[in-house]
Structure 1
Amino acid sequence: MNDWISSFVFFFAVIDPVGTLPVFIAVTSRHSEWQRRRIAFTAVIVAAGILLFFLFAGQYLLEAIGVPLSAFQVAGGIVLFLFALTMIFGEGKPEQEIEIVRSGHETAIFPLAIPSIASPGAMMAAVVLTDNHRFDSIHQINTASAMFAVLAIVLALLLTANWIYRWIGDAGASIVSRVMGLILASVATTNVLLGIQQFFLM
């Protein structure tokens, strides 16, 4: 159970469901209610497909090109840490991705499915948390269920986006994004340390 909660928190931090709300609202501001619902379902389904690919095939892809998972874990941890710093000290996820929307890319695929939901951090998490050398199939299924639980939360939030965003506003979304950044920085540091440990134990 603790492993499932840990995976859930990890995915929640890297996907940042609340931070996706302003992006979704900006993308769908000119759409009708039924179109918003269709965009929400499309974005989550596409993101789920991408993350499932990395969950099941990501490690095999790395091994095929000769990259050990420990090296990917260290590199991913460093990237995640830098990303977490931007969430804490720089523009939060909502501000960054709303700028992407304003540049004209207003589709369910980009920036909603990628990189808002299926972010680089989420792809890395899907690979690292299902390491075939450390985790059995039951653990990997639990990890997948934790990922789907977060995606279900994303979908629920998107379907009620207008009501929620009116309640928390820009400031609330920014605060949540920064808290998730702090959690993500801690997780990233742990991944770097574990990756270094695994590399020298090989």
Structure 2
Amino acid sequence: MDLQTIIREFVTLFVVIDPIGTIPVFLFAAAGVSPRLHKAFAIRAVLTAAAVLLVFMIGGQFLLEALGLRLGTFQIAGGIVLFLFALSMIFGDSKAEHDIEEATNEDLSGAVFPLAIPSIASPGAMLAVVILTDNHGTSIGNQAITAVLLLAVLSVTLVALLLAGHILRLIGKGGANVVSRVMGMILATVAVDSVLVGLETMGVLHLSPAGM
């Protein structure tokens, strides 16, 4: 895996997990928790999200193959879903507003909902880890690198949650909203690329090397 691919995968994972956009969700979900427990609350949420995403990374493609589905079709479907997810980030309510709205009718005593799922381990993130670790086109070594990149992004997320109060005071809710929408634009580009790669995987389209 070359440096360009590593950077691309890191950016993809960073965008779909969206550590900055998760901060307001954390502050809302932890509002009823004693401040001395906020650190444990954040750690529990990130560990839960990591477990979910690693399970999808390891077993997601096996499930697809058991159902008789080709990875190319999943790349196309995943790209479409990621694109719709990106559109919701760009034109709809911000991630924080959306997740908090869903959380108002749920039990917020734990860190699993809405923080671990769907804020950190979002549907977009689940799809992304499966797409990035194609068992047929990606070696075990490269999949291990992707897993390390995932853990790196989750580590950034944990740091962001531990510094949530300071970050939100610094950029404000408006700043967090702007960052989320910029990430939506990046995700839309990644989603289109996923569809094109899926078409190429299925032999429907032949893509020229980048820059040609």
* Common fold: TM-score over 0.5: yes
Give yes or no for the alignment of 1:183 onto 2:197.
no
Quote the RMSD (CA, aligned, Å). 1.3
Task: Find 1:2's aligned residue among 4, 11, 18.
Answer: 4
TM-score, normalised with respect to structure 1: 0.96
Task: Find 1:192's aligned residue among 192, 195, 200.
Answer: 195
Give yes or no for the alignment of 1:136 onto 2:139.
yes
Would the aligned equivalents of 1:26 and 1:101 in 2 still touch at CA under 8 Å?
no
Task: Find 1:168's aligned residue among 171, 175, 182.
Answer: 171
CA distance in 1, matches of 2:62, 2:103: 34
Shift of 1:33: 2.0
Which residue does the alignment assign to 2:207?
Answer: none
Across the two proteins, how many residue pairs are aligned to each other? 202
Letter in 2 for 1:159: L
Q: Which runs of 4+ in 1 moved over 4 A?
A: none
Would the aligned equivalents of 1:81 and 1:188 in 2 still touch at CA under 8 Å?
yes
Task: Find 1:75's aligned residue among 71, 77, 93.
Answer: 77
Would the aligned equivalents of 1:54 and 1:126 in 2 still touch at CA under 8 Å?
yes
TM-score, normalised with respect to structure 2: 0.92
Unaligned runs of 5+ in 2: 205-212
Shift of 1:8: 0.6
Shift of 1:197: 1.3
Shift of 1:200: 2.2
Which residue does the alignment assign to 2:88?
Answer: 86
CA distance in 1, matches of 2:189, 2:114: 26
CA distance in 1, matches of 2:160, 2:102: 21
Q: Percent identity?
A: 51
Decide whether aligned partners of structure 1 residues 172 and 62 sit closer, same or farther in structure 2, where only a CA change above 3 A counts.
same
Shift of 1:53: 0.5
Give yes or no for the alignment of 1:47 onto 2:49.
yes
